[in-house]
Amino acid sequence: MAFRLCPMLLPPLIDYHVHIDLYPDYQEVFAECKKQSINTLAVTTTPRAWERNVEMAGGSTNIRVGLGLHPQVVAQFYSEIAIFEKHLARSRFVGEVGLDASSNHYSSFPRQKEIFERVLRLCAEQKGKVLSIHSVRASREVLDLLEKHLLPDRGKAVLHWFSGSAPEAERAVKLGCYFSVNGQTLQKESGCAVLRRLPLTRLLTETDGPFTLTKGKPTRPSDVEGTVVALAALFKMEEPRMRQILNENLQTLES
């Protein structure tokens, strides 16, 4: 019979990319993360939202708040880069930032690159930042800029919901990147094929809630347990061992 730890003894869950402030009941989601000790990275889409998220996190040791300027809103909130610069020294965590070359956002791609490059330069100057990075149809460009401005010795990067090719994933590993994985990645064979080629030591879990669904409802941070179970099955191990590995990865990333 397989040995299973009591739930009380399991290492905590990790949701390393979630937009808590965009849930209708965001106050309850913050409270759930605190009560359940979920190691959470609450990302923001604009720098203006950062201070309010920090306030709602209430000094919790398990909730980190990322200072973000999402590439999909750069066209509208370009001027908030000044607010980003103002707050950066107070935030170790940065996210969501990056590039999006999908059809709906490609018109702003030049400006996205300008902002992302500026963000990376600022982070490199201050050193020690952990970034959660969006890279839709722009994995090569994101890696080019990370290599040029930040990695491997001036910061750490977590590629959120990575959808690039296997060679791009291997390049990211060589640059020191981590990968935050959600349930939707594991529902596609293409996503699983890339994951199998990654070192287990570079994986974290995420939900990207409320933009993903679990049983027809917006995914909540606690739902990330399903992703842990799926990852454990993918790598043919017990869930407690997978949880242990993920928590060791988090400690290494943030050390």
Q: Is residue 10, in this structure, part of any structural domain at all?
A: no
Count of CB atoms within 10 A of residue 188's CB?
A: 11
Q: Is residue 108, in this structure, part of any structural domain at all?
A: yes
Range of the domain at 142: 16-254
Number of domains in the chain: 1
Question: Which CATH number characterizes residue 73's domain?
Answer: 3.20.20.140
**Side chain identity at residue 229, one-letter code:** V
Q: Is residue 75, in this structure, part of any structural domain at all?
A: yes
CA-based nearest residue to 78, from 48, 106, 58, 54: 48
Residue matched to tokens 């995420």: 206
Q: Is residue 168, in this structure, part of any structural domain at all?
A: yes
CA-based nearest residue to 227, from 43, 18, 8: 18
Chain-centre distance for alpha carbon 242: 18
Query: In degrees, to the nearest 5, what angle opens at C-alpha 160 toward C-alphas 154 and 164?
Result: 100
CA-based nearest residue to 223, from 215, 235, 231: 215
Q: Is residue 9, in this structure, part of any structural domain at all?
A: no
CA-based nearest residue to 203, from 164, 167, 232: 232
Q: Is residue 11, in this structure, part of any structural domain at all?
A: no
Q: Is residue 156, in this structure, part of any structural domain at all?
A: yes
pLDDT (tens digit, 0 to 9) for every residue of the chain, 255 residues total?
Answer: 444 555 558 899 999 999 999 999 999 999 999 999 999 999 999 999 999 999 999 989 999 999 999 999 999 999 999 999 999 999 999 999 999 999 999 999 999 999 999 999 999 999 999 999 999 999 999 999 999 999 999 999 999 999 999 999 999 999 999 999 999 999 989 999 999 999 999 999 999 999 999 999 999 999 999 999 999 999 999 999 999 999 999 999 999
Q: Is residue 8, in this structure, part of any structural domain at all?
A: no
